[in-house]
A and B are shown apart, each in its own frame.
Chain A
Amino acid sequence: MEGRERKTLVLGVIGADVHAVGNRILDYAFTQAGFKVVNIGVMASQEEFIQAAIETSAAAILVSSLYGHGEMDCRGMREKCQEAGIGDILLYVGGNLVVGKQDFGPVEKLFRKMGFDRVYPPGTMPEEPIADLRRDLGLA
């Protein structure tokens, strides 16, 4: 992304989830890929994601959830973005989003319906959302 302004991303792990390892790797991978990463870390609330996105004029919010409560923690996030005046911001989510081994199809549908632009299954490598993000932001 030479010669272009670096896009800012807000990265974090939502809810009461403390999985910190993947968060650090994503931080590293997105930074290496040329993005400016605002990492709000683990145990972040919807409000913290949105506040950070407003303060840094972020282009996207990337939500991780590894512990199974993702469905409860992510509900209403798009609506909160709208109320805060950033209704069009890109929202990505990924991880072990529900309790137990479930087919990914319905899980993806559920989170898309909640207003997430992209939904990633367990085991996704950072290269995939990086490529998607470039496409969605018109950088590719």
Chain B
Amino acid sequence: MELSVKQMDPEEFGRQRQEVLTAWPTGKEVDFDEAVAYQKELPAAKVMAAKLAQGKAKGVTYAQPRAGVALISEHIELLRYLQDEGGADLLPTTIDSYTRQNRYKEAQGGIEESRSIGRSMLNGFPAVNHGVMACRRVVESVGVPVQVRHGTPDARLLAEVTLAGGFTDFEGGSISYNIPYAKDVPVENTIKYWQYVDRLVGLYEENGVRINREPFGPLTGTLVPPSISHAVGVIEAVLAVAQGVKSLSLGYGQCGNLIQDVAALHTLPLLAQEYLKKLGYPEVMITTVFHQWMGGFPQDEAKAYGVISWGAVAAALGKATKVIVKTPHEALGIPTKEANAAGLRTTKQVLNMLRDQTLPQTEELTLEEKMILRETRLILDKVLELGEGDMAVGSVRAFQAGVIDVPFAPSRFNVGKILPARDTTGAVRILDFGCLPFDREIRDFHQERIARRGRDEGRDPSFQMVIDDIYAIGKGMLVGRPRG
């Protein structure tokens, strides 16, 4: 199949489907027509797209945790706890890392060992191994919509099993679940895998079932400049809508400077609408999702609550449709259910307090918005130029050329030349532009801001400054100033 942004042809989809559904025994539990009928029976309160539309109309920000354990009944207990004790508006099912790499045999080993020793040996819920009926038990056990969250380059079988299993939202995308989550998978391959997932969602849509799709905004979660994650979000939006997706949540990971974060949340849906329209696609529902700080956290729980609260502030003032919540155990790995619920309650307190407040449109906010819009357009226009108008082809070439370059990504298909650093106000700027297609004015803006920090700290900007920034929040600061 030649790479193209166009909708997959039904024959190709059918051919792949046979392959996908026989990759693991639970694949044969998937019966599309029966799954459509099951999805149609779900009450509106459990359908993500319906609930997001409601929240968007009312201008509220929903709170959603991350959570998943190896065994079904423990997973259900965890989700119920987060709903009842944490007040989660939306629920997740986070998938374990073996399943994310299609290593179902190892996931099976993890399930069996978890059973025998009585604690979860897996860092998530192995939905493919558990199968369609187990997923339905999860969905039926709670009162709010449940989304699949993972990090899977080839999520075709996971999508088949979980959507047939009653989940109404599926996270990920061809770039956002490849470049930060794999080391050796070509972008062209993941575009094709995710066109299958998006086409599957399109087929549900054509049969009267709306599944929401959410590209993973934060990418590596480490000093990613907004224009880079926005460009990826818009590309994945275009690729999804081309396959028939009608409801999208676009994501962004907190950088830490309030003005930059609010500017990013304001500009993300505008850019998606602009490019969808420009490329002739129909209008779809677009909501936004804000991720609380994705980098290293302080170990001290009191300090961690501070980081969580600051994320809640940015989500509320930026009017995100939902916020993905961190926990006071973040520095130590997978949280207990109590810690997870505590992160939710902290977040909801702040969201409720800020519900009726906005950030005034100051000159500085307008400038940040203008810069993000200009930078993102320069990247996206170059992608389209490289692809001769085709966003899929252009994306592959853009990664080869370093026109899109994600800082600190494990993938060898990412050029990895750019270097971000904070400026003196904590906003994320670019220290080394690599091959980003930015003009003089933008380069001057970034350089001038970073130079000002260098003067404040009496040192030349370097990789050491970047390392200091990566550790800073864990050590109680936003900007990684030299000690002393």
Contacts and interface: CB of A to CB of B under 8 A. Distances in A.
B213 interface: no
Interface stretch (B194-202, B249-257, B331-339, B391-399): B331-339
B183 A100 contact: no
Interface string B244-282: 000000000000000000000000000000000000000
Interface stretch (B36-44, B118-126, B373-381): B118-126
Nearest to A125: B471
Contact of A101 (B100, B332, B408, B467): B332
Contact of B410 (A20, A71, A99): A20
Contact of B123 (A20, A25, A99, A122): A99
Nearest to B123: A68
A10 interface: no
B333 A21 contact: no
The contact size tier of chain A is: 20 to 34
B170 interface: no
B183 A24 contact: no
B98 A16 contact: yes
B96 to A, nearest CB: 8
Given A99-B121, A99-B122, A99-B123, A21 B222 contact: yes
Contacts, number: 92
A59 interface: no
B23 to A, nearest CB: 17
A41 B180 CA distance: 13
Given A18-B180, A21-B408, A66-B333, 10 more contacts: A16-B100, A18-B181, A21-B470, A28-B463, A42-B183, A68-B334, A98-B333, A100-B119, A100-B335, A101-B329
Interface of B: 97-98, 100-101, 103, 106, 109-110, 113, 119-123, 151, 180-184, 220, 222, 295, 299, 329, 331-336, 339, 408-410, 463, 467, 470-471, 474
Interface of A: 15-18, 20-21, 23-25, 28, 41-43, 66-69, 71-72, 96, 98-101, 122-123, 125
